[in-house]
A and B are shown apart, each in its own frame.
Chain A
Amino acid sequence: MHDKRKRSAGELGFNGLLFLGSLILLWNAYKISGFESLSSPGSLPMAVAFAMVVSSGLILLENFRTPDRDGTVFLRDILPPVIIVMMLFIAGYAVLLVPLGFLPTSFLFLFLSILYLQRGGLVFAVSVSLFALICVYVVFRVIFTVLMPAGIVPEGEILAAIGRFFGGAN
């Protein structure tokens, strides 16, 4: 704890957020059952939320005491554009998954992110995403029968029809 590490860009803000979050959680933990009894459902949540407040408070204090910056730039070293873009892709995936369905969303996600990270290579991106998607689909959907949101592609019906086509074994 006595490391003379310098402060990175955004560190103070992040630790501050953690401290604030811990306080909110402590309040919520208190609301579960107050100080009713040692065996109440709120006792452990309150104890751990308290530990979070104290530890994040200490971390924040330590942060204040080391005002030296280490020369990192937030948008270059901590959250460079490439990470922001990927985070946006993931967020887009999460939003589109239910309405659009698993297959189109996943293809779009793989294709766009490979294209973006590779910076070019359209054919490569399409073929790799298709291949990967087929593998994932076969393993998760066909073998492990995980029913992902179907969305606009009626893949359940297609699969059943293919099953009937090949002798109805499915």
Chain B
Amino acid sequence: MQALEYFLIPWLDLKLLFLVAAGTFAGIYIGAIPGLSVTMAVSILIGFTFTWDVYPALCLMVGIFMGGVYGGSRTAILLNIPGAPAAIATAMDGYPLAQKGLAGEAIGIATVMSFVGGLIGIAVLAIAAPTVSEFALTFQPRDYMLLALLGILLVGSLSGESLIKGIFAGAMGLLIGTVGMDPLTAEERFTFGFTQLWGGISFIAVMIGMFGVSEALAQLHHIDKQAVKQKIGRIVPNWSSVRKYLPLSLQTSSIGVIIGALPGTGGDIAALMAYDHAKRVTKNPEVPFGQGAKEGLVAPETANNAAVGGAFIPMLTLGIPGDAVTAIMIGALFIHGLNPGPMLMIDQPQMFWFITGALMLANIFMLIFGLTGIRIFTKIVEMPRSVLIPLILLLSIVGSYAVNNSITDVYWMLAFGVLGYFMKTYGYQLGPVILGVILSRLLDDNWRRAILSENGSLAGLFKGILTSPLSLVLFTMVVLIFVSQTPVWRRLRRKAGIPATSHDQDTTGSGA
């Protein structure tokens, strides 16, 4: 009962209530603008709220976190430019919907499903936090490596018409991720003698270039074409369609919570994995994936918001950050005189329930603000392109600078924008590039850690995989998914008379 009392603190105090609302509102816009990130906003808030009490400060941060993860979907759907890495998968089916004039409906579904995902994430946090964090800790380097491999296999479902071009793009992304000074040995990789490259190429710069600038350039082809008029009849999806996607959203939310709870992986990977999962389990989508399948919207949006609750699990139970934002919040707790760590739950259980309560509140505000401001937002797409495109370009430049205060990042962003434009024009998908960049460090670091832990022996690594149940499960998944994507397997299935799954159909999917 004590727990409920703590849980309700932010709900009953008008000031805290307002701060959560304001944070969520701001978060939606921060998330929607590429280059403004939740990480950035929260670290600025540390200075801003320095003299405040810890409760109001946390309310604002929690609101921004929740709103920001969701806000990325807005620009992904409306402009094909994901506002945040966690919304990359959302663009794949959200933007085609907007092109059909269904932006309002797409945003409605994304909002409700983000709410559902957030709810499940918070529920798991409240009920099973200690269990989940113990589970997350059992992941060894080899398990992270297998997880990264699992992620890389998503290239198969992100490649569109040509798998080989997808493989090239994915490999390119992995390579971009290795540029700079190797964090494990301080060896320089692909720096060509430039110290500016020691820090590597910012992943956000690549993302903004590949999605923002290249999309803006591509849209110049239609500079004189009238923008698609958006029908805003129905925004709130009806109950029957919510119920229809409920089984899928439960699965994808689980993916989100687990990936979110693992230290070192966050909502971006969760959303992509959930998208792939949706493609795999949805037998007959009304519309093929990549052309506006609602399932392709439901999956990433539930997963990335579920990952928010997930990220708090190791943070609140053990003082271990689940992602970059919770890492900063740990710093914030420390600055406010608390000692985030395993003792926090025991010494100050009110913190745990307070944050859970604030998260729940932020989730509700996200639903409210998400469903109300859509009309104004969709006007963005109807703006004349001659204004919209220069604005997108300017925001891309400022945004990529802001990430690490680096002019070099701006140059990279522009270079990748031009490269991305040509790749798109010649039938390469850009999704796999970003996937590669996201997973590069995870794969590289953990592969090397895994092999170093076995004193360099590959046999030792395999022995480790085969003797640990968790590794074995992950390994089996990698093998199964790999085999199911190879052409031989598909031919076998067809011969056996098993009807084609969505995977076979998606070869016709266009990249828009």
Answer yes or no: A and B touching, Cβ < 8 Å.
yes
Contacting residues of chain B (438-483) with chain A, CB-CB under 8 angstroms: 440, 443-444, 447-448, 451-452, 456, 458
Contact across chains for B220 and A8 when beta carbons are under 8 A apart: no
Residues of A within 8 A of B448 (CB): 39, 41, 43-44
Interface flag for B506 (CB, 8 Å): no
Q: Select from chain A the residue with minimum beta-carbon distance to B41.
A: A144
Q: Cα distance A109–B175 when bound, in Å?
A: 33
Q: Cα distance A143–B472 when bound, in Å?
A: 49
Contacting residues of chain B (412-462) with chain A, CB-CB under 8 angstroms: 414, 417-418, 421-422, 425-427, 436, 440, 443-444, 447-448, 451-452, 456, 458
Contact across chains for B190 and A28 when beta carbons are under 8 A apart: yes
Could you say which of B63-71, B157-165, B232-240, B247-255 contacts chain A? B157-165
Residues of A within 8 A of B397 (CB): 93, 97, 106
Contact across chains for B164 and A55 when beta carbons are under 8 A apart: yes
Contact across chains for B167 and A55 when beta carbons are under 8 A apart: yes
Residues of A within 8 A of B102 (CB): none
Interface flag for B12 (CB, 8 Å): no
Contact across chains for B426 and A136 when beta carbons are under 8 A apart: no
Contact across chains for A97 and B189 when beta carbons are under 8 A apart: no
Q: Cα distance A114–B384 when bound, in Å?
A: 10
Contact across chains for A41 and B182 when beta carbons are under 8 A apart: yes
Q: Cα distance A118–B386 when bound, in Å?
A: 6
Q: Select from chain B the residue with minimum beta-carbon distance to A49.
A: B175
Interface flag for A150 (CB, 8 Å): no
Q: Cα distance A42–B414 when bound, in Å?
A: 27
A28-B190, A98-B407 are contacts. A15–B426 as well, Cβ < 8 Å?
Answer: yes
Residues of A within 8 A of B418 (CB): 87
Contact across chains for B184 and A52 when beta carbons are under 8 A apart: no
Contact across chains for A39 and B187 when beta carbons are under 8 A apart: no
Q: Cα distance A14–B387 when bound, in Å?
A: 30
Q: How far is the CB of B165 from chain A (nearest CB, A)?
A: 6
Interface flag for B174 (CB, 8 Å): yes
Q: Cα distance A3–B160 when bound, in Å?
A: 12
A-B pairs with beta carbons under 8 A, tally: 163
Interface flag for A117 (CB, 8 Å): yes
Q: Cα distance A97–B410 when bound, in Å?
A: 10
Contact across chains for B164 and A1 when beta carbons are under 8 A apart: yes
Residues of A within 8 A of B213 (CB): 90
Interface flag for B178 (CB, 8 Å): yes
Q: Cα distance A28–B175 when bound, in Å?
A: 11
Interface size on A, residues (CB 8 A): 63
Q: How far is the CB of A58 from chain B (nearest CB, A)?
A: 5
Partner of B387, one of A52, A93, A114, A146: A114
Interface flag for A130 (CB, 8 Å): no
Q: How far is the CB of A57 from chain B (nearest CB, A)?
A: 10
Q: Select from chain A the residue with minimum beta-carbon distance to B393.
A: A90
A1-B162, A45-B190 are contacts. A90–B220 as well, Cβ < 8 Å?
Answer: no
Q: How far is the CB of B63 from chain A (nearest CB, A)?
A: 16
Contact across chains for B175 and A25 when beta carbons are under 8 A apart: yes
Contact across chains for A132 and B391 when beta carbons are under 8 A apart: yes
Contact across chains for A140 and B451 when beta carbons are under 8 A apart: no
Interface flag for B221 (CB, 8 Å): yes
Could you say which of B275-283, B288-296, B398-406 contacts chain A? B398-406
Contact across chains for B162 and A90 when beta carbons are under 8 A apart: no
Residues of A within 8 A of B390 (CB): 109-110, 113-114, 117, 129
Contacting residues of chain A (72-94) with chain B, CB-CB under 8 angstroms: 78, 80, 82-83, 86-87, 90-91, 93-94
Interface flag for B136 (CB, 8 Å): no
Residues of B within 8 A of A87 (CB): 217, 418
Contact across chains for B443 and A41 when beta carbons are under 8 A apart: no
A51-B167, A109-B394 are contacts. A145–B44 as well, Cβ < 8 Å?
Answer: yes
Q: Cα distance A55–B422 when bound, in Å?
A: 17
Q: How far is the CB of B219 from chain A (nearest CB, A)?
A: 10
Contact across chains for B389 and A117 when beta carbons are under 8 A apart: yes
Partner of B385, one of A32, A93, A117: A117
Q: How far is the CB of A153 from chain B (nearest CB, A)?
A: 16
Contact across chains for A91 and B414 when beta carbons are under 8 A apart: yes
Residues of A within 8 A of B9 (CB): none
Interface flag for B18 (CB, 8 Å): no
Interface flag for B261 (CB, 8 Å): no
Contacting residues of chain B (108-122) with chain A, CB-CB under 8 angstroms: none
Contacting residues of chain B (128-167) with chain A, CB-CB under 8 angstroms: 161-165, 167
Q: How would residues 103 to 117 of chain A score, 1 for a CB under 8 Å from any chain B CB and 0 otherwise? A: 000100110011001
Q: Cα distance A118–B5 when bound, in Å?
A: 59
Contact across chains for B178 and A37 when beta carbons are under 8 A apart: no
Q: Cα distance A140–B422 when bound, in Å?
A: 30
Q: Cα distance A155–B155 when bound, in Å?
A: 46
Interface flag for B369 (CB, 8 Å): no
Contact across chains for B168 and A18 when beta carbons are under 8 A apart: yes
Contact across chains for A94 and B389 when beta carbons are under 8 A apart: no
Partner of B40, one of A25, A113, A144: A144
Q: Cα distance A89–B457 when bound, in Å?
A: 53
Interface flag for B103 (CB, 8 Å): no
Contact across chains for A139 and B36 when beta carbons are under 8 A apart: yes
Partner of B391, one of A37, A110, A145: A110
Q: Cα distance A1–B73 when bound, in Å?
A: 32
Q: Cα distance A102–B398 when bound, in Å?
A: 9
Q: How far is the CB of A27 from chain B (nearest CB, A)?
A: 11
Which are the 4 A-B pairs with shortest beta-carbon distances? A117-B386, A55-B168, A51-B171, A113-B390
Sample of 9 more A-B contacts, CB < 8 Å, known A58-B164, A132-B394, A147-B405: A1-B164, A18-B168, A28-B192, A44-B178, A48-B436, A51-B168, A97-B397, A106-B398, A118-B386
8 CB contacts below 8 A, A to B, read A14-B426, A41-B189, A44-B443, A55-B168, A87-B418, A91-B414, A93-B397, A114-B386
Give me the interface of B with A, judged by CB distance under 8 Å: 33, 36, 40-41, 44, 161-165, 167-168, 171-172, 174-175, 178, 182, 184-185, 187-190, 192, 213, 217, 220-221, 223, 384-387, 389-391, 393-395, 397-398, 401-402, 405, 407, 410-411, 414, 417-418, 421-422, 425-427, 436, 440, 443-444, 447-448, 451-452, 456, 458
